[in-house]
Structure 1
Amino acid sequence: MKKKQLLTVLAAPVIAFSLFQADSASADTNFDTVNMNNTELMIEQKIMKKNGSIHNNAEITRNEVKKMLQRADEMKGLNAKDLFFTDSSNKGKGANPKEPITKIDMAKVFTLAMNDGEIPEVDLEVLNNFNDTDSIPEEAKPYAAYAVLAGAFDIGFEENFNPTEPLSREEVAKSFKPLVFDVIDILSTNDVHGNIEENPEYEQGGMALVGGIVEDFRSVNEEGTVVVDGGDTMQGTLISNSFDGLSTIETLNAIGYDAGSIGNHEFDWGIDVLKERMEDANYPILGANIFEEETGERPDWAQPYTIVEIGGYKVGIIGFATTETPETTLSTHVEGLEFPTPAPIAEELSAEMKAKGADIVMVTSHLPGWHEETTDEIMGELADLAASENGGLDALVGGHSHERVAGHINSIPVVEADRYTEAIGHIQLFVDRDSKEIYHSEVDMLETYSHLAGEAENVREIVDYYKDQVEEIKSEVVATTEGPITRDRKYGDLGVSQLGNMITDAMRERAGTDIAFQNSGGIRNNINSGEITYGEVFSVLPFDNYNVTSEMTGEQIKDILEGPAEDDWNFMQIQFSGMNVVYDPSQPDGERVSSIELWDGTPVYTKGEANDETFSVVTNNFLSTGSGDGYYTFGEVEWESDPDFQRELFADYLRDIRDRGETINPDEAFDGRLIQE
């Protein structure tokens, strides 16, 4: 929304890497305008004059911009004689009205028009995104910083601002959109996974920085900023897991989130703990597609949507879990629940909310998306929901896949913002003030490097409090490594990894079994060279998984190594110990493994024949259910549990190496256990 008062920006905003030009919007939308470019839109709004054909790249004069301001009724409080900077082309006698308008000129025009002629105080740190910050005149920097933050210009990280370059007609038209329309800024996080602290290696992320970014947007658009989360919020770090996610929820409370969705890992501590955290949250955590199998109804804790008041608009927010939840969390924690496809539910609920007066309907979800490598087309559940829509939704936020996704599908802006607070999603909706129709939308990705933004002090206090609580545990040195120990697979996308080998070795030694299996997705981070702390071990194995043991046949072991046939990407990604395996990835499903032999020489599978004996196996409780990552074969046997968490036994394994006075050579972790023919 426009701010008609003097504003103070408390913290510098992050960069906004604009991936896609605004091209559409949906639902309650003026469909005659959604595919217009900015120039055409301003002509349609009678702000620009057509003058024959439209030339988007034609330069536009200062005088033409003044006339546009008059047509937009935005000259209140402005002195036309002093509206533009004095330039050298007119020998110091004032800005020449017939000269093309430059970027710093337009920044001043925009800022003064947004604030009725007042000069706002702004943190200039945002301008550090540009390589040529020093070329911006000092008197122009407050205007440039404000215009960037308020959306007049896109930001290209480490690109040039080009302050004295003439703007094209299209660029001027874009900068007028926040003047002509109300702006709804949707800021989103997803897959925070308890990363409330900044990443010190990259000086990036953390919830205090996220809070600072939100403060920046609210400082220029207090009435029009919506903040949502896409799920998998709490599980994944020592500072969060040690308090069952309460520390993370408190940071989102302090920031003032409007809504969140239930991710698959929200169930990792069981439904009772999830319900406790939902009660602790000052915002609703939504799950519109969570139903009880027995009754066909939503459980009483699964709120489907909320409606929030944003600057005179009612914004309806639906929350969705991913349909993959039963396969990507401990199945016993979601037993008796169903997670159906969201599309028909979205249609029903959007109509219900509009009947209650919602002007805008959006989704925050844990639905995964990604850009297809060759075509850049957006894929996944997030894309499926957008493609199925027929005018019910205005914006979609996703999660789960840990990807950067930004674009438009079926005229709907969609975004997913990486993971671990490494980015923030940003959707802008431009809304007509009279009809409340959406005329345009844009999608950005906001970076979270610490030198580009300030922190929210209230959030920093919460983080520091919990950080002090876990520091002693986190800093214990359990071993030393001569180089990084990674989860990178031996054969590109396939095969075992250094960490996978070491973790499964630790599992097998602890359990005293012939064979160990570990899912690759359960190994969440690499280990840096040098001293290995318990905090690093936790980041590698953050989930509260534990060992389970049983007996399995040679045929079952081969089936697991082949991977789920319907999920070809899973083939030979499982990590293992205790056997040597020969495989050929060029062969069809079910025929890739040609030889399996225990390390003592006992054959498990040779030349198409499985050994009739059974073999002792250890895996984790996530895989043992048979639904984890689609490895159904694990569900064919009964398992006995070991109460110790996997990360604890791995930490003990590393401590033993330390106590022997040895250091780890990561190269030795790649042995001959897997051979690709």
Structure 2
Amino acid sequence: MLRAGGIVLGGSLVSGSATAAGGDGSTTLTLLSYNDIQTAAAEDKKFPRLVTLIEQRRAAADGPVVVVGGGDEVGPHALSPISQWRAPVDVLNKVGPDADVIGNHEFDYGFDAISNVTEDSEFPWLATNLVDSETGEAFDGTESERIVERGGVKVGLIGLADEGATTGKTNIDFEAEGVTIEDFTETGPAEAKRLKEEEDVDAVVALAHTGIDDAENLAEADADDDIDVVVVGDDEQFYPPEAVDGSIISEARARAAYLSEIELTIEGGEVTAFDGQLIEVTDDIEKDPTASSIINDYRADVGLDEVIVEAETPLDATFGSNYHRETGYGNLITDAMRDRAEADVAITNAGGIRSDSVYGPGEITGGDIFNTLPFPNTLVTVELTGEELVETLASQIVTLESGTGQDLGEEISQQTSGVRFEWVPHEGVDEQIRDVRVGGEPLDPDGTYDVAVNSFMANGGSGYPLEDKPVIEATDELLVTLVVDYLRERDTVAPEPEGRAQRVDRDLPDASVTVDGNGKVVTQFDAPDDVQSVADDTVAVWTPDGEHVDAEHVAFGEGDETLVVRLDDGDLADTIEDAADGDEVSLNLYAEYESSEYDHVYFERSRLNADVAATVRRRGRGASGRGRAAPPGR
């Protein structure tokens, strides 16, 4: 019988957890696990408290204890450019885990550095399905498996990674490095069976840097249920221990926020029951002094606690925001890149913005910026044609209809500067990137543009098609350093989204209006069939320069087929004040709406767009200023 526990807050266990049985021949083995320490490794906050919690749970266990990690422990973090893997490894040596697994961020410092990571670690790093292509054995510095004997119980530990955590998230050419990535759903169960049949282990624990979905696939593929526990890393989910297809699966979120504790009843050489929970790492848990000292000594070396700027708006470094839409902080980072490179455009990948936190408003320290940009990426400027720039932007779109889109919602997956565009996150559309402007001017498909990116992207990381593009300048300047320097030059910053990347689900017909600064501008559109209602407070008209005017009045009721939008002509004229009499200015109207077709995951509503051609009249004031939608012409 498998029985599962629940969520534990405040660092204390719920009652009813399994205890070592007396006299019945059974033993309770406690398995403690963490995963994806990442940015917490550079902060004297949760990581030292996690160290204390592990020691507390070791002491409280009524039976043998095994401690393991789920990978992505040594990066990325704010100290990466200075200490690389050393700060987190030094702290983990204090913990003394029985094993950890090689994840994609263990490759942050390059393939050759893995042997340095393993050499400095006083515990083994497992890579069961990443093998030397010639020998079939573990590649340099790693181990295929580890058997731990404790309290009369033998536990077999294996380490697995999927393609998403290897070729999908690194720039490593594993084939060129002589490493074969075996199918973890085949290698894992086969090695578990071998450990039980040949090594006579009582339990097998798979450290799987795969994410929950692939961990469940692993459990399903393990037909003989030889894998008893799957400790998961990579997708950073809050996943309390749960029985799935004969295995117990658990993931402790990330960044030292939780500790997974699973109590396994071992009887007759097998796991017969379990109780498990996630224990929150809270501020009332004392910090381990050695761990704090290690982190603070590294921080002092680089002055991470120095205030460098005052932020008047929040600097949003959360994954949800930066993957799905334009953010003020993404604008700040890419503005700094474009400024330093003197480039036309700057792009940075959403995955390069870390910490999953919001900083400010208020004082911002160097450590805050290092937390959000922890990779040792440098600034690179490449030359792209307009057509290649569109291809580059389109390479990052995740459509709503895709598997990832169904799980996480449609994504733009990047932040930009110097370029404005619309993105259409759906399958089967003619253009997923459209209406592109660089420096306020329409994109020239055959023209060339200087584009600043980071070195990870320039080498083809995250699927960017840049590896073979001409390099104008490849600097040794760290991305994080140039952003810090950019901020030091300013007393305050107040970055906000400004319409650089506009999401569009459906089109309205084009419209033509006259703008003379008097009265009102009214437009009327035939609405698409899936429009059920329109959110009045989201309707606005945007200029090519990123200025916008909110609608004064919106009319669209249930059963209506037309959308009527009214704007103040004076406000609209003010936003295009540089236009001369007779000029035609291309505007865009955007509106959010409830759709009968699209079921969004991240966004609250779908989004409409209409191209609006505004003819400017600086003379003859008093004209009506009215316009009506032209026939569809997209």
Q: TM-score, normalised by structure 2?
A: 0.70
For residue 595 of structure 1, report the CA deviation from its aligned partner. Answer: 0.8
Mapped pair 1:423 → 2:258: yes
Amino acid in structure 2 at the alignment position of 1:518: T
CA distance 1:566–1:597, change in 2 (3 Å)? closer
Shift of 1:566: 7.6
CA gap of 1:415–1:241, structure 2 versus 1, over 3 A, is farther
In the TM superposition, 1:326-475 aligns within 5 A as 326-331=167-172, 335-336=176-177, 337-354=179-196, 355-369=198-212, 380-390=213-223, 391-406=225-240, 407-432=242-267, 435-451=268-284, 453-456=285-288, 460-471=289-300, 473-475=303-305
- Deviation (angstroms), 1:548: 1.6
User: 2:103 maps to which residue?
Assistant: 263
Match of 2:120 in 1: 280
Once the two structures are TM-superposed, the CA of residue 541 in structure 1 deviates from its matched residue by: 0.2
CA deviation map 1:436-459 (0-9, x unaligned): 2321123311111031x3444xxx
Alignment partners' CA distance in 2, 1:535 and 1:323: 32
CA distance in 2, matches of 1:128, 1:644: 43
The Cα of 1:580 is off from its aligned counterpart by 1.4
Which of these residues, 349, 372, 386, is aligned with residue 540 of structure 1?
Answer: 372
Q: Is the 8 A contact 2:41 2:295 kept in 1?
A: no
Aligned positions of 1:211-290 closer than 5 A: 211-221=51-61, 223-239=63-79, 242-290=82-130
Task: State the distance in 2 between where 1:483 and 1:187 align.
Answer: 40
Q: Is the 8 A contact 1:235 1:241 kept in 2?
A: no
Q: Give me the whole-angstrom Cα distance separating, in 2, the residues matched to 1:675 and 1:182.
A: 59
Instruction: In structure 1, give the amino acid aligned to 2:215.
Output: L
8 Å Cα contact 1:194/1:235 also seen in 2: yes
In 2, distance between residues paired with 1:477 and 1:248? 24
Return closer, same or farther for 1:418/1:444 CA change in 2, 3 Å cut-off.
same
3-state DSSP of counterpart to 2:207: strand
1:209 CA displacement: 2.0
Contact 1:364 1:398 in 2 (8 A): yes
Q: Is the 8 A contact 1:194 1:240 kept in 2?
A: no
Number of aligned residue pairs: 485
Q: CA 1:293–1:653 in 2, change beyond 3 Å: closer, same or farther?
A: farther
For residue 122 of structure 1, what is the aligned residue in structure 2? none
- Separation in 2 of the partners of 1:240 and 1:634? 25
Is the 2:160–2:207 contact (alpha carbons within 8 Å) kept by the matching residues of 1? Answer: yes
1:563 matched to 2:395: yes
Change over 3 Å in CA distance of 1:541–1:197 after alignment to 2: closer
SS in 1 for 2:190: helix
Give the helix-richer structure, 1 or 2: 1
Q: Is the 8 A contact 1:291 1:299 kept in 2?
A: yes
Residue 345 of structure 1 aligns with an amino acid whose one-letter code is T
**Counterpart among 448, 458, 465 of residue 614 in structure 1:** 448
Q: C-alpha displacement at 1:519, in angstroms?
A: 0.4
Q: How far, CA to CA, are the matches of 1:307 and 1:489 in structure 2?
A: 37
- Which one-letter code corresponds to 1:186 in the other structure? L
- Contact 1:524–1:542 under 8 Å retained in 2: yes
CA positional deviation for 1:478: 1.8
Match of 1:581 among 399, 417, 421: 421
Is the partner of 1:516 in helix, strand or coil? strand
Partner of 2:533: none
| TM-score scaled by length of structure 1 | 0.66
CA contact (8 A) 1:264 1:322 kept: no
Q: Distance in 2 between matches of 1:128 and 1:343?
A: 34
State the alpha-carbon separation in 2 of the partners of residues 210 and 491 from structure 1: 27
Residue 282 of structure 2 aligns to which amino acid in structure 1? Y
- Residue pair 2:318, 2:354 contacting (<8 A) in 1 also: no
Partner of 2:436: 596
The CA deviation at 1:464 is 1.2
**Unpaired segments ≥5 residues, structure 1:** 1-20, 25-36, 38-126, 131-147, 155-173, 370-379, 605-610
Inter-partner Cα distance in structure 1 for 2:352 and 2:160: 23
Q: Distance in 2 between matches of 1:199 and 1:473?
A: 14
Per-residue displacement from partner, 1:118-177 (whole Å, max 9, x unpaired)?
Answer: xxxxxxxxx9959xxxxxxxxxxxxxxxxx75x7526xxxxxxxxxxxxxxxxxxx7897
SS at match of 2:51: helix
2:458 counterpart (624, 627, 631): 624
**1:554 and 2:397 matched:** no
Aligned partner of residue 237 in structure 1, secondary structure:
coil
Asked if the contact 1:186–1:227 (Cα under 8 Å) also holds between the matched residues in 2, the reply is yes
CA distance in 1, matches of 2:127, 2:319: 35
Question: Structure 2 matches for 1:21-420, cutoff 5 A?
Answer: 22-23=2-3, 129=10, 152-153=15-16, 181-193=26-38, 195-196=40-41, 205-206=46-47, 208-221=48-61, 223-239=63-79, 242-292=82-132, 298-324=138-164, 325-331=166-172, 335-336=176-177, 337-354=179-196, 355-369=198-212, 380-390=213-223, 391-406=225-240, 407-420=242-255
Shift of 1:237: 2.6
C-alpha spacing 1:259/1:636, structure 2 compared with 1 (3 Å): same
Task: List per-residue Cα deviations over 1:319-340 (Å, max 9, x = no partner).
Answer: 1233222221233688533433
Residue 481 of structure 1 is matched in structure 2 by 311
Structure 2 CA distance, aligned partners of 1:175 and 1:300?
40
* Matched-pair contact (CA < 8 Å) for 1:517–1:574: yes
Matched letter for residue 464 of structure 1:
S
Residue 211 of structure 1: how far off its partner (Å): 2.5
Shift of 1:656: 1.6
Rounded to whole Å, the distance in 2 between the matches of 1:317 and 1:346 is 10
Q: Secondary structure at the residue paired with 2:339?
A: helix
Tell me the CA shift for residue 589 of structure 1. 5.2
1:535: how far off? 0.5
- In structure 2, how many angstroms separate the alpha carbons of the residues matched to 1:304 and 1:263? 14
CA distance in 2, matches of 1:178, 1:641: 66
Q: 313-322 vs 219-228, which deviates more?
A: 219-228
Q: Flag the 1:583–1:259 CA change in 2: closer, same or farther, 3 A.
A: closer
Change (3 A) 1:655 1:220: closer
Check if 1:648 corresponds to 2:481. yes
Q: CA RMSD in A?
A: 3.0
**Residues 260, 286 of structure 1: 8 Å contact kept:** yes
Is the 1:188–1:397 Cα contact (8 Å) retained in structure 2? yes
Distance 2:22 2:364 in 1: 50
Higher strand share: 2
Question: 2:353 touches 2:372 (CA, 8 Å); kept in 1?
Answer: yes
Using the TM superposition, give the Cα deviation of residue 491 of structure 1 relative to its aligned residue in structure 2, in angstroms: 8.3
More relative contact order, 1 or 2 (CA 8 Å, 6+ apart)? 1
Is the 8 Å Cα contact of residues 315 and 362 (structure 1) preserved in structure 2?
yes
Shift of 1:362: 0.9
| Contact preservation (8 Å) 1:489, 1:495 | no
1:234-283: CA deviation from partner (whole Å, max 9, x where unpaired): 11333465322222212222222111011111111123332122112121
Q: Which residue of 1 aligns with 2:333?
A: 503
2:10/2:280 contact within 8 Å kept? no
Query: Are the equivalent residues in 2 in contact too, given 1:559–1:590 (CA < 8 A)?
Result: no
Q: Say if 1:565 and 1:589, in contact at 8 Å, map to a contact too.
A: no
Q: Which amino acid aligns with 1:549?
A: T
SS of aligned partner of 2:40: coil
State the AA in 2 paired with 1:441: F
The Cα offsets for residues 83-121 of structure 1, whole Å up to 9 and x where unpaired, read as xxxxxxxxxxxxxxxxxxxxxxxxxxxxxxxxxxxxxxx
Cα distance change on mapping 1:492 and 1:552 into 2, 3 Å: closer
Between the aligned partners of 2:282 and 2:39, the Cα distance in structure 1 is: 18
Corresponding residue SS for 1:288:
coil
Offset of residue 313 of structure 1: 0.9
Could you say which residue in structure 1 is the equivalent of 2:589? none
- Structure 1 counterpart SS, 2:278: strand
